[in-house]
A and B are shown apart, each in its own frame.
Chain A
Amino acid sequence: MILHFAILLSFQLAGEVFSRLAFPSAPGPVIGLALLVFALAIFPKLADELRETVNGFLAHLSLFFIPAGVGIVTQLPQIGADGLAIFAAILISTAAAIAVGALTFAGVSRLIGGGDE
């Protein structure tokens, strides 16, 4: 467990270093994710080692968004002023993007014959 956590943090740290040095527009953890995929390609056994810890971790992914979410209390005046516009824009835009994205994915899969297997 501690070892697994150390591995994840090491990749995040490496990602932060890459982000600072080479790709400032990509966040460190996202680069760390890509680096870990590369590492798994070279050492596939690492995946079995990490699997249980990672599954437990990702099962409660929602928890980690709560502190940032509570930040909404600092923006209540701005949100209040534009409340209806924000509500409508987010609801309509989120629904439209999910529908368009999923239908495009499914449609193109069918076209190229690589769909539901």
Chain B
Amino acid sequence: MNDVSTLWVYLSASPLTWLTATLIAYLIGHAAFTASGKLPIINSVAIAVALIGGALLITDTPYATYFDGAKFIHFLLGPATVALALPLWFNRAAIRRSLIPMAAALIAGSVTAVVTAISVGLAFGATPETLLALAPKSATAPIAMGVAEGMGGAAALTAVMVILTGVTGAVIATPLLNLIRVKDPKARGFAIGVTSHGIGAARGFQESEQTGAFAGIGMGLNGLATTIIAPLIVAWLL
């Protein structure tokens, strides 16, 4: 018994445990997604986060201890973002033809995301701290956190809003876009990327390479747009 608890003290603090747990949780989420016939509602990120978050709460493990192992995976977000250059490059002809629709959709999508997030939050009586975290939630995490902090918001809470927005977009995008009969993968991908950044782009690549490529551009452009638009709308509405 004593040996077991000593072993657990060692394992729960070891980066290897949580690195392995992250990969296994993702594989479980991915297997569930595949087994469901690739239903978007079976989102591998949401499943993995629930599994690991539950494990941390049950074992009373601090997030910092978890992240000490998981940071090796977190780090790969950087090179993965750089890698989005390739689908952009292969779709460059379609991108060049779509510059005007992209500019229009960027402004419309970005303004809609910020205005509706703040006004629905206000209507439901959210605290100012939550509202500031909600405002830039459609931008990719590092940008959104910087924008929220610039307005006096909390970076950690903003990161959570960003992730929730990404997962929500990944889950609802396919049925929603089918419902409103937008078939063009360029329009679908771009709107998903503007709204739901990288997690949306991951979903876009499951639809098609072109959807993913346009989601990648939407993510990049809305990152830039949000730095300008979110502070303006916050100053106007709050």
Contact = CB atoms under 8 A, between A and B. Distances in A.
A75 B157 contact: yes
Contacts of A104: 101, 104-105, 108-109
Contacts of B46: 69
A69 B43 CA distance: 13
A97 B120 contact: no
A71 B63 contact: yes
A27 B205 CA distance: 22
A104 B125 CA distance: 31
Contacts of A101: 105-106, 108-109, 112, 187, 190-191, 194-195, 218
Interface string A77-101: 0110110111011111111111111
Nearest to A116: B184
A25 B146 contact: yes
Contacts of B227: 25
A34 B169 CA distance: 25
B125 to A, nearest CB: 6
B82 A73 contact: no
Nearest to B86: A54
Given A86-B126, A109-B187, A72 B169 contact: no
A8 interface: yes
A78 B128 CA distance: 12
Interface in A47-86: 47, 50-51, 54, 57-75, 78-79, 81-82, 84-86
B184 A109 contact: yes
Interface in B136-154: 137-138, 140-143, 146
A85 B130 contact: yes
A20 to B, nearest CB: 14
Interface in B210-224: 212, 218, 220, 223-224
Given A62-B199, A67-B70, A67-B73, A37 B137 contact: no
A61 B169 CA distance: 15
A5 to B, nearest CB: 7
Given A89-B121, A97-B194, A98-B172, A73 B116 contact: no
A93 B63 CA distance: 29
A105 to B, nearest CB: 4
A100 B112 contact: yes
27 contacts: A29-B78, A32-B81, A32-B82, A40-B86, A54-B87, A62-B26, A62-B30, A66-B22, A67-B74, A70-B52, A70-B66, A75-B160, A85-B126, A86-B161, A88-B120, A89-B118, A90-B168, A91-B168, A93-B116, A93-B120, A101-B108, A102-B180, A103-B182, A105-B98, A106-B184, A112-B100, A115-B184
Interface of B: 22-23, 25-26, 29-30, 43-46, 48-49, 52-53, 56-57, 63, 66-67, 70-71, 73-74, 76-90, 97-98, 100-102, 104-106, 108-110, 112-113, 116-118, 120-121, 123-127, 129-130, 134, 137-138, 140-143, 146, 156-157, 159-161, 163-169, 172-173, 176-177, 180, 182-184, 186-188, 190-192, 194-196, 198-199, 201-202, 205, 212, 218, 220, 223-224, 227
